[in-house]
Amino acid sequence: MRLGRLYTITKTFLNYGLDQLVPAKWLPWSVRIGRYGLFWLPNKHTDKAAGERLRLALESLGPVWIKFGQMLSTRRDLLPADIANELAKLQDRVKPFPGAQAQALIEQALEIQSIDELFSDFDQTPLASASIAQVHTARLRHGDDAGQDIVIKVIRPDIRKAIDADLELMETLAQVLAKHLPDGRRLKPREVVKEYRKTLLDELDLLREAANAMQLKRNFDNSPLLYIPKVYTEYGRLSVMVMERIDGIPVSDVAALHALNVNMEKLAERGVEVFFTQVFRDSFFHADMHPGNIFVSRHNPQDPSYLGIDFGIVGTLNREDKRYLAENFLAFFNRDYRKVAELHVDSGWVPAHINIEEFESAIRTVCEPIFNKPLAEISFGHVLVNLFNTARRFEMEVQPQLVLLQKTLLYVEGLGRTLYPQLDLWKTAKPFLERWMQEQLGWRAVLRSVKENAPYWAEKLPEMPTLLYDYLHGQKQLATFQREAMQQLLAQQQQLKLRVVYSIGAAAFIISATLLWNAAQPLWLVASAAVGALLCVFLSNKRG
């Protein structure tokens, strides 16, 4: 089966001319000979551009490869713009599997004889079908929320086998590319596949997704910005998740939003605020915010709020990365390119030996032209590509912890462009970041630190008298030791000083005796000088 799948993938790659994306001179002779040997598998799509051929090939290989193409489309730091743009067209909808099979999988996971035991009005026609799972509608039959409209998400059958087989082949291909491509170190094909493996396997665990949803819901509890549907954990399983069904307008349906008289400017600004709130306030952000996962509430269109779904991919940032990012954004918004360059070095993203002045100049060249323009006239994705290309000149490697953040920011840009093209992304984001930095560095930060550490301090408080006594006792012993050591050092210095004096005296007497002897002076005078030398040596040794 594995060999058969390998043949299918190879055939697909060659039929779409993907081998032509890698210059022949980069490939070892064995690979080139192998390609010529497969002459009956020619490129059948010579009329299409490289990016389109790659997209079509991934689509034909199925859900695992479609998902891989979607991830690659966000890696504009690794791919040319035309290919990344083409891969961005990959949709998260694939051919559904039979509804009766989905029902059987749900019954098996929940260990029930019939789905009617727990749910009513189960619809075998899927509401949505994606590469990993599909969604069906129903109603709750029991509990406080009986009659509540819900959606049941179920993982595709046998998807794990297909994923494992394809991932193994991907890793083999990545090893070949890393070894033979001249730019293999920068492109990091093995790291890309490893990242994809983790993302994909995380999405197979619906218990993890349910936990992510509950965390996001708690973070935005009673917030006018974002609503996360309720998760019914009592029905949660590794392959099944049950959630409240939301009633919203797809954020991409701009005509419907205008028909409802939604305040588009406020909606776009709130999209930016949602992103920065998740990243800088919570350090926990929805990292798959493409239009298929974001809806707009029908209630109160002049004060609109978002509805979010699909929480299989989330991102987190540690405190240091978050602080450096905030400072970078603020320096960027203030056009302080020197500060941007220094922060890259301070954070370790760029080596310390690079020339700061040259790096600052390169950043200014990329960033300065985009200011004071509405979002419709700039592409943040294009700016990112130029920044990545610039950073590579200064030995900056891709930061894995920032990849999901970059991807999410690209989604936010696309969202803002769709809703309100005149949105000034910089003007909207800057006040939020300034307020956040003040909270991190001002008196609010002190109060928050006290609040966060209060339980730990309360736990240690009974031990404080003992710890204080041990500290003071230790300080007393240390002071005694230091005083004795100092006295001993002074005594040793005094002895050394005397030995030096006696040694000088002995040397003087020896020299004097020698000179007197050579000058044929009386013997008693020479003997006196010799005795003086011996006396100085004796006293020096005695002092030592």
243-275: b or e for each residue (b if 16 or more CB lie within 10 Å)?
bbbbebbebbbeeebeeeebbbeebbbbbbbbb
Average pLDDT over residues 417-424: 79
400-419 vs 264-276: helix axis angle to the nearest 10?
Answer: 170
Contact between 139 and 150 under an 8 Å Cβ cutoff? The reply is yes
The predicted structure's pLDDT at residue 540: 56
Shared domain for 372 and 426, answered yes or no, is yes
The predicted structure's pLDDT at residue 229: 96
Shared domain for 272 and 361, answered yes or no, is yes
pLDDT tens per residue, range 337-354: 898 888 888 887 788 888
Shared domain for 414 and 319, answered yes or no, is yes
Q: Tell me: pLDDT of 361 over 80.
A: yes
Shared domain for 437 and 294, answered yes or no, is yes
Confidence of residue 502 (pLDDT cuts 50, 70, 90): low
Is residue 12 in a domain?
Answer: yes
Choose the weakest-confidence range: 66-75, 171-180, 235-244, 318-327.
66-75
Domain endpoint, select from 210, 245, 280: 245
The predicted structure's pLDDT at residue 452: 59
464-518 vs 523-543: helix axis angle to the nearest 10?
Answer: 170
Domain endpoint, select from 223, 245, 267: 245
Is residue 458 in a domain?
Answer: no
Choose the weakest-confidence range: 271-280, 337-346, 410-419.
410-419
Q: Tell me: pLDDT of 57 over 80.
A: yes
Is residue 454 in a domain?
Answer: no
Whole-number mean pLDDT of the chain?
78
443-454: b or e for each residue (b if 16 or more CB lie within 10 Å)?
eeeeeeeeeeee
Choose the weakest-confidence range: 132-136, 160-164, 352-356, 463-467.
463-467
The predicted structure's pLDDT at residue 406: 72
Q: Tell me: pLDDT of 168 over 80.
A: yes
Shared domain for 73 and 136, answered yes or no, is no
The predicted structure's pLDDT at residue 164: 83
Who wins on pLDDT, 435 or 223?
223
The predicted structure's pLDDT at residue 509: 57
The predicted structure's pLDDT at residue 110: 95
Contacts within 8 Å (CB) and 24+ apart, 339-346: 344/391, 344/396
Confidence of residue 23 (pLDDT cuts 50, 70, 90): low
Choose the weakest-confidence range: 72-76, 96-100, 109-113, 251-255.
72-76
Shared domain for 267 and 396, answered yes or no, is yes
pLDDT tens per residue, range 114-151: 999 999 999 999 998 877 899 999 999 998 999 999 99
Average pLDDT over residues 383-392: 67
Residue 117: exposed, middle, or buried by beta-carbon count in 10 A (0-12, 13-18, 19+)?
A: exposed
Of 223, 171, 231, 235, give the one whose Cα is nearest residue 200. Answer: 171
Number of H helices, E strands in the chain: 21, 11
Domain endpoint, select from 91, 124, 148: 91
Q: Determine the Cα–Cα distance for residues 55 and 69; give it in Å rounded to an integer.
A: 7
- The range of the structural domain enclosing residue 55 comes to 1-91
Is residue 145 in a domain?
Answer: yes
Average pLDDT over residues 58-78: 73
- Give the SS3 label for residue 418: helix
The predicted structure's pLDDT at residue 1: 47
Who wins on pLDDT, 199 or 231?
231
Shared domain for 10 and 151, answered yes or no, is no
Q: Determine the Cα–Cα distance for residues 410 and 389; give it in Å rounded to an integer.
A: 17
In the chain, what is the straight-line distance between the N-terminal and C-terminal CA atoms, in Å?
88
The predicted structure's pLDDT at residue 208: 95
State yes or no: is 303 an active-site residue.
no
Q: Tell me: pLDDT of 44 over 80.
A: no
Angle, CA 99 vertex, CA 98 and CA 105 arms, to 5°: 95
Choose the weakest-confidence range: 26-30, 224-228, 413-417.
26-30
pLDDT tens per residue, range 234-273: 999 999 999 999 989 998 888 999 999 999 999 998 988 8
Contact between 162 and 186 under an 8 Å Cβ cutoff? The reply is no
pTM score = 0.70
Average pLDDT over residues 405-413: 75
pLDDT tens per residue, range 177-217: 777 665 556 567 787 778 778 878 888 899 999 999 999 99
Give the full edge-to-edge strand order of the sheet including 248-250.
226-227, 306-308, 294-297, 248-250
Q: Determine the Cα–Cα distance for residues 87 and 52; give it in Å rounded to an integer.
A: 8
Of 326, 357, 329, 317, give the one whose Cα is nearest residue 341. Answer: 357
Number of domains in the chain: 4
Tokens for 500, please give them.
């030096």
The predicted structure's pLDDT at residue 458: 67
Is residue 462 in a domain?
Answer: no
Shared domain for 149 and 175, answered yes or no, is yes
Q: Tell me: pLDDT of 443 over 80.
A: no
Q: Tell me: pLDDT of 523 over 70.
A: no
Q: How far is CA 418 from CA 86, 255, 281, 414, 527, in A?
A: 18, 11, 26, 6, 110
Shared domain for 170 and 226, answered yes or no, is yes
Contact between 26 and 181 under an 8 Å Cβ cutoff? The reply is yes
Annotated active-site residue in 77, 92, 288, 424? 288
Residue 181: exposed, middle, or buried by beta-carbon count in 10 A (0-12, 13-18, 19+)?
A: middle
The predicted structure's pLDDT at residue 537: 54
Is residue 205 in a domain?
Answer: yes
Ordered alpha helix ranges (H), 313-424: 319-333, 337-346, 356-367, 380-393, 400-419
Shared domain for 77 and 196, answered yes or no, is no
Average pLDDT over residues 509-518: 60
Of 183, 171, 110, give the one whose Cα is nearest residue 140. Answer: 110
Top-ranked range on mean pLDDT: pick from 46-50, 194-198, 362-366, 384-388 = 362-366
Is residue 448 in a domain?
Answer: no
The predicted structure's pLDDT at residue 501: 56
Shared domain for 181 and 225, answered yes or no, is yes
The size of the chain, in residues, is 544
Is residue 35 in a domain?
Answer: yes
Shared domain for 113 and 59, answered yes or no, is no
